[in-house]
Amino acid sequence: MTYPIEESRFAEEVLGANVPVLVNFWAPWCGLCRLIEPLLHQFQRDWGPQVKLVSVNADDNLKLANTYRLTQLPTLILFENGQPVDRLDAIGGREEMRRALNALMLKRLKAFSTS
């Protein structure tokens, strides 16, 4: 389940997490942000405890939006060991996004298994 966080908890919840964290940067006025929400919930169900999914309202957390140089919403950034490792900010249709999210996780699992 997507879990909303604020800037004050970002370091603890994202940068300090012991699993990869997918951060969904969104805004209430963003129609596409609302449309992808069910897809993100399915992604979380599919990958379970292997990834943590959080959401950050970019309008309410401008410092984070600037830090990660958001140019459009939604923007999804995968963090691992406190560092951004992958980013999806040119989100097309739902099927394209589903494939991109699964490819992102498979790439992380492959990198983990070879290290």
Q: Is 22 helix (H, G, I), strand (E, B) or coil?
A: strand
Catalytic residue (choose from 2, 7, 27, 30): 30
7 is catalytic: no
Cα–Cα distance, 13 to 10 (Å, whole number)? 5
Q: Identify whether 33 is a catalytic site residue.
A: yes
**Which position has the higher pLDDT, 90 or 101?**
101
Residue-wise burial string across 56-77, b where 16 or more C-beta atoms lie within 10 A, e elsewhere: bbbeebeebbeebebeebbbbb
Beta carbons of 53 and 22 less than 8 angstroms apart: yes
Among the options 5, 23, 33, 88, which is catalytic?
Answer: 33
Cα 47 from Cα 28, distance rounded (Å): 26
Percent of the chain with pLDDT over 70: 94
pTM of the model: 0.90
Residue with tokens 């964290």: 21
For the stretch 30-70, pLDDT in tens is: 998 988 899 999 999 988 888 999 999 999 999 999 999 99
Domains located in the chain, CATH noted:
3-114 (3.40.30.10)
**DSSP category for residue 85:** E
- CA 62: distance to chain centroid? 17
